[in-house]
Amino acid sequence: MSTQCAICLCDYTEPVSIPCGHVYCLKCISDHILSSSPDGFSASCPTCRTSFCIVLPELKSLPTQFHRYITPSIRRVLVEPEAFKQRLDALEARNGALERENRALMAAVAKEKKDLQEARKQLKVTGKKITRVCDSNRSIMPPSKRPRLDANSSSSAIATARRRLLSSANLEAFARAHSTKRSVWNPFAGAQMTSRSR
C-alpha cells in the first residue's frame, strides 16, 4: 500500500477506502464525489473508474435480518505508517539484541558442556572424586581459577590444590560435611538442629 494519496499526492490525512480497494484522504475523495457525482447517488473511483454507491438505505425501511449486510461505501482505514515503522524498527532492534544474547548463551552452554566432558575424562583417568568448586558467592568458579589435579601431579601439588579448594569453599559447610557425626545433617535442607556437641 502506498503512503501517499493519488489525488493530492501527499501523505494520507484520515485515510479512507472505497469498495474497489483504493485508498484516499477523506477530504480528497469527498471533494471528488461532490464535483463528479451526476446524480448524488453514485460516484466513480478516480483511479480505476469503478462505480460505487454513496448513499446508504434507511435501516428502518429494511428488515432487521439485513442490517448487518449494510456497510458504508467509504470506510476509514486505521493505518498510521510512521507509528508502525517506528514500532517495527524498535522490534527489529530488540530482536537483534535477543539473537546476540541467545548466541552468547549458547556459546556459554557449549563451553560448560565441554568443561564437564573434560572433567569426566579427568575423573576416569585419575579415578578420584571431583568435588564441586565454588567461590565465596556460591557460584561455580571459572575453569581458569579451578585447581587442576592430574594423574602425574605430586603429593605437594595435590595438597596445594586441596588448600585452594578449602580456602575458596564455604568452610562452615565443609566442617559440617566432614565432621565425625554427620548422620543428622543434610546440606540441602538448610539450617537444621544437629545432635553434635559443639
pLDDT tens digits for 134-160?
Answer: 544 455 555 566 555 554 444 555 556
Q: What is the pLDDT of residues 57-77, one digit of tens each?
A: 777 777 888 777 777 777 777
The answer, as to whether pTM is greater than 0.85, is no
- Enumerate residue ranges in the chain where pLDDT < 50: 135-137, 151-154, 168-169, 180-183, 194-198
Question: Could you tell me the three cell numbers for 170?
Answer: 564455604
Sign of the Cα torsion 96, 99, 100, 101 reads positive
Helix (H) or strand (E) holding 173: helix 171-177
Note the pLDDT of residue 37.
Answer: 78
Residue type at 162 in one-letter notation:
R
Question: Could you tell me the three cell numbers for 43?
Answer: 460516484
Note the pLDDT of residue 153.
Answer: 46
Helix (H) or strand (E) holding 171: helix 171-177
Longest Cα–Cα distance in the chain: 107
The residue among 21, 36, 149, 136 whose CA lies nearest residue 75 is: 21
Note the pLDDT of residue 198.
Answer: 45
Q: Write the DSSP string, 81-129.
A: HHHHHHHHHHHHHHHHHHHHHHHHHHHHHHHHHHHHHHHHHHHHHH--P
